[in-house]
Structure 1
């Protein structure tokens, strides 16, 4: 009886998947040879500056570029989107306040992105400056500039691929206002994503969009105020919701999706996977999450390197991204290894003793404070001492 019940559940689930045009494609494999004449939507979220292969299990942006090149070579038209928390998270991202990330995204040919809460940590003015240097729109239909009472970023964009018009809009989490230092976001406010989504869907339909895509940095975490589940529960007409913020997998999104006529997707965190949605000529969608092993099987897993031999005609995105990344790594390394100064004072292995040693041998006032840091490999908090000096 139990065996029969299990079989019935499996059959029912298969029937459910087959009966919906927007379904989690967990059963079949992503194949480059099946892409001719189709539109491939590649998407990333919560990369947090992990742009190099192997960094916290990242597949790297060179791999993303190689996948895009491979899809185009297979006869597909490609869209590339990002769902936020992009400009901060590693030294390579922060040493020039997101400048390198912006250059890499331009080289990849992103089509649009939405801002995440961490993207405001440089301050709103810096984020706007970064957005102005991008070759694609930053979307935020619910982010208001209080100095002008207008939207801080663009509302939406219409893009045509394979004769289909895609209407794309962006939604940022209202938690941005509480998760950041108030001074970083003092001149903006973030409105209800539900109300904004409802207005955007209405406008994009009237503008002739065949497929409506929401780029959201809302997440599926029930602790988040007005998350993507709330939007999909209350707003009809969104065909594809590309989400970020909760660092969720594709399967996790599918398991909580309240509106099965909408495909809700996300691609984990730190570029551990690349999200893919394939749209056929009938506008039916299938979603995939390509992990490192899958990308290796597709022969697109690519390690950035000075010695990487790339045919620019066959892989223009790969070549451009690899060159920018190599230059950025060198520039960042040189900046971090700069020698500021030194002395011949012999220091103690006991941190507190160094205060008196510095005081006796140098013309500085010294202080010590206890810090708490997170050791990622050991997954534990560690206390450490930081000694700093101020010249008299």
Structure 2
């Protein structure tokens, strides 16, 4: 009997230990690192507060040594925006992300800036997929540069990742770049993706370029609110900083701000196929001061810069003041850099007025010498400058449209020359602009005015549809060339804010 009792006790203990072991094996941890809206700011930059890819690579390598399951995602607007990438049309960024073992990237609106053909070429050399489930061709044919989703496996854990791109891409890149494409409703698409993935994976992640801006119709918040079953949304587009994420129903939404100023990470705990815990954190640039830059990434960046230096280091002039191109300033009010750019456009094209979208201004310039590289960083989109002719009524309509999303930081906000206007920021949309003067005289709705603008806006970009049918009366070279010539002729420059735009 004693032997039987001992045997039974031993069997019971063994069973308990086996069950305990099964329980431990069923619990899995997954860490997801993420970036968004880097806009090719891949170098460490104390002025901009950018961590840079070399230090991000070090942090990723450390995590992969210490943790069993690590994923790295990018939420888009990555390939374009700085000279280091623009000169080689995004190839530098792709090569670096290949070395950093990026798992997947959402396609952002500015990732189309080199055109569809170039995006296809970048997808060819990328070791990671470009994701956008709601992107289709109007004619139904296949798109070779994107996938709808991927499934990653970590041991027995299966993770589904699908992508969504903002429908605003139709007018937040040059319309020529997205000819023949359609961006379908992200909410409807997300429902289909969840239905398709839910019985195949344990975790569903959406990597999205939608944003949470109040000025956007489709946001990641809307997707999370209306589509159950998404465990995590790694988001971009609106450049928001979400230090510990945002919970909407049972979905965690994360963003890192912009320009690699922060590296985000999310820790998920999965137990028996269910996500039981999720936490979000950021590693800000100031916490990476002691992080050693990865040697390989640093070397590659150095070689790219050396190749570009012959072009970018040429000095075009100087400025006696800092030129303010900060995103939050050029998208909500007049800045001295906005005035400088539009003054240059107006002078070059000899027009009554000039107007450019604040979203087209992508950087500031320090006081002192100005190089070609700095100008290209300010105006990285390769737009051309042109003059159109429109009525005073359409000109006022353009200004109304430009302030329609204020105070949201939207790229359609106008920077102007030859015009002064007042508007009420809290008035109903369409009734905000109060008074408009053109070269000191009240605007005449029936008069015809010549307007210097860029080809993006002329094509209806940023929603400026009132420009799309206007006749072109003159066209010159690239917008960055126009600015360089103006700086060279007027150096040292000292543009100021002149109350061209007054908020009441």
Alignment TM-score, normalising by the size of structure 1:
0.71
1:50 to partner: Cα distance: 0.5
Gapped regions of structure 1 (runs ≥ 5): 1-36, 304-317, 340-366
Shift of the alpha carbon at 1:147?
A: 4.9
* Alpha-carbon shift at residue 239 of structure 1 (Å): 0.1
Give the aligned CA root-mean-square deviation in angstroms: 2.9
Matched pairs, number:
305
The farther-off stretch of 147-156 and 271-280 is 147-156
CA deviation profile, 1:263-283 (whole Å, cap 9, x unmatched)? 110111000000101223534
* Matching residue of 1:161: 154
CA contact (8 A) 1:368 1:386 kept: no
Map 1:272-287 to 2 at 5 A. 272-280=261-269, 282=271, 283=275, 284-287=277-280
Deviation of 1:377 after TM superposition, in Å, equals: 5.5
Shift of 1:146: 3.1
Q: Deviations over 1:49-81 (max 9, x none)?
A: 111111621101011100011112223321110
Match of 1:386 among 469, 485, 495: 485
State the partner residue of 1:364. none
Alignment CA distance shift 1:281-1:93 (3 Å)? same
| Residue aligning to 1:238 | 230
Distance 2:287 2:171 in 1: 38
CA distance in 2, matches of 1:82, 1:263: 16
Structure 1 residue 386, shift from structure 2 partner: 2.9
- CA deviations on 1:274-306 (whole Å, 9 max, x unpaired) are 01012235342211111023334xx5x234xxx
Where 1:195 maps in the other structure, the secondary structure is helix
Tell me how far apart the structure 2 counterparts of residues 378 and 324 of structure 1 sit (CA, whole Å): 26
Residues 213-242 of structure 1 deviation map (CA, whole Å, 9 limit, x = unaligned): 000000000111211111111100000000
CA–CA separation in structure 2 for the residues paired with 1:116 and 1:147: 22
Q: CA deviation at 1:322?
A: 2.2
- Greater relative CO (CA pairs within 8 A, separation 6+): 1
The Cα of 1:323 is off from its aligned counterpart by 2.5
Residue in structure 1 matched with residue 123 of structure 2 by the alignment: 131
The alpha-carbon distance between structure 1 residues 252 and 40, as it changes in their structure 2 partners (threshold 3 A), is closer
Q: Equivalents in 2 of 1:245, 1:184: separation in Å?
A: 18
Q: CA deviation at 1:149?
A: 3.1
Match of 2:198, SS state, is: helix
Sort the Cα spacing of 1:39 and 1:333 in 2 relative to 1 into closer, same or farther, 3 A.
Answer: same
Structure 2 residue 203 is matched with structure 1 residue 211: yes
In structure 2, what is the equivalent of residue 188 of structure 1?
181
Is 1:268 matched with 2:257?
yes
Distance 2:125 2:269 in 1: 33
1:38/1:162 contact within 8 Å kept: no
Structure label with greater radius of gyration: 2
Contact 1:140–1:151 at 8 Å: present in 2 too? no
**2:301 match:** 325
- Which of these residues, 42, 47, 54, is aligned with residue 45 of structure 2? 54
**Per the alignment, do residues 173 and 57 of structure 1 end up closer, same or farther by CA in structure 2, a change over 3 Å counting?**
same
Offset, 1:135? 0.5
Counterparts of 1:62 and 1:209, CA distance in 2: 33
Residue 243 of structure 2 contacts residue 280 of structure 2 at CA under 8 Å; is this kept in 1?
no
1:258 corresponds to 2:248: yes
How much has 1:145 moved relative to structure 2?
2.3
Distance between the aligned counterparts of 1:64 and 1:337, measured in 2?
27
**Aligned partner (choices 331, 334, 348) of residue 310 of structure 2:** 334
